[in-house]
Structure 1
Amino acid sequence: MLLDTASLYFRAYFGVPDSVRAPDGTPVNAVRGLLDFIARLVQDHRPDDLVACWDDDWRPHWRVELIPSYKAHRVAQESEQGPDEEETPDTLSPQVPVIVDVLAALGIARVGAPGYEADDVIGTLTARASGPVDIVTGDRDLFQLVDDARQRRVLYPLKGVGTLQTTDEAWLREKYGVDGPGYADLALLRGDPSDGLPGVPGIGEKTAAKLLATFGDLAGIMAAVDDPGAKLTPAQRRRLYEARDYLAVAPKVVRVAADAPLPEFDAALPTEPRDPAALEELAARWGLGGSLQRLLAVLPR
């Protein structure tokens, strides 16, 4: 089981009231909400391995070089020395180091890669895995990794993590008319304002799906643009031609990496805390209470 950790702690932050606080009054709603999420996922799905995948760089420079608008609207402060700072709520940012410390004390693997997003970590671990993989994320971009033959599916939270949409190839075809790899092509044609991807003007989701159904993939669509006999309307041909520079680089931006340089780590789900003393201190300092106890109760099972 691979967790898109930031996606889940953002969801926890907005789903759990900020009245959930540590003894000193600091909000810990994201911390406790994430612990509850993990406890429920472990209880319901019993993974052998669990990895909290991490954004070492949420807006990699190599993606921005290709498409400068990539996540640009979410930048709080640009940095020349390291990753750009993402705009986050004032009371969420201080909780992220607490999450890091709690995961370490528990012994739950937290894995990132310099210059890569959590999506790329997930893509790399999915490519490496020999057995079934469940990806837990609120980010539809990762639908591109769905692969029934290799038992790769996305568990997409609809309400907390108690209600999860199981995204497999049948669901993708019914909803979007594409398979997993086709979803990446659909997304880059359609565009995604939340990621700053412009898409092709005039090509919406339904048109993109029809083009992919007709021509197979992005390469097939672009070959059709150069084929006078291909069944494209004049407007579609013109729009795709005018967007050819964007479409030449968009696949590298939209498709997750399968070869991110990951550190060595132990993915096995722990049955007991790695550092009980540190965990006890964190629990007391941050008032983790029932959320931590619920997770500790399901780990040995």
Structure 2
Amino acid sequence: MTLNLSQKEAELCFPQLNNSCKKRTRPHSESVIIYTLLPSFSLLTVSLNLLVIISISHFRQLHTSTNLLLLSLAVSDFCVGLLVVPFQILLSEPCWLLGDLACILCSILPYISAPAIAVNMVLISVDRYVAICDPLRYSTKITPKRVKICVLLCWIYSVFYNLLFLFNNLKQLGKYNSCYGECVINVMGAVDLILRFIIPTTSIIILYTRVFVVAVSQARSMRSHIAAVKLQRSKTVTVKKSELKAARTLGVVVAVFLVCYCPYYGISLAGYELMTGSLTHIFMFFLVIFNSCLNPVIYAFFYPWFRKTVKLIVTLEILQPHSRQANVL
């Protein structure tokens, strides 16, 4: 009798409380993902995005409107690796032992950068839309000052977006917990789905569909008239080619974003609820981390300047005088 009582107590998060949650048994595969893969990708995400942040911030040649948006996206991805992953590992523990207030703070505050990722993707799509569809007025429409204002508004929106969920859950601590040792928050799923997925995704798809149509049209036009292009217009053609290449690269970034985020929100659209800490939830979260880790890898494949700057950073040549003026393009 005493042995059975001890076993039951060992299965509870708080044996001294009547309404204690039972400790959830974790499969070995789940433990491998949580304690091996997630920390590894977290470290890789932080390292790679830090290289992007240093590159664009340090070298003057990279201080362009498009790269400012890439810098903002890199900061978002950096925060995901640095803040979101450690707290997600903590939240996936079989029992929550830190109290209701810590549950809310750990569930919401680390995700401040998450809405910024979606908004940055929309801003990148707008940038490419103007560059391809209205190239003659791109330099007047998309100025560094305007981009900085947009990036600032993006982060202000992201902060207030998370504070909305924070205050909603602070009204009554532990309201959504069914037992002691559980960490459940209300994320207002419909609002989150519309603001962070449906609206940004729809905007991105519409803009890039238009970019794709115009880009294909311009590519065909350049191929058919390349023999008749005069020397005076050769620079214009080169600019168009570079813009098309940038559109293709950033199109890959946007496509990867959609592939990684669609499964999570697709489940929400289907009406299913993900249990925090479940294997499905962890896999969906892993896709989000994978997206933040993959963006710098895409830059490395498509942008020669990123490969050059990484070499300068790793070899510590950026510590040399006048390294900011180095030719990396």
The TM-score bracket by the shorter chain reads: under 0.3
Give me the TM-score of the superposition, normalised by structure 2: 0.25
Could you say which structure has the higher helix fraction?
Answer: 2
Structure of larger gyration radius: 2
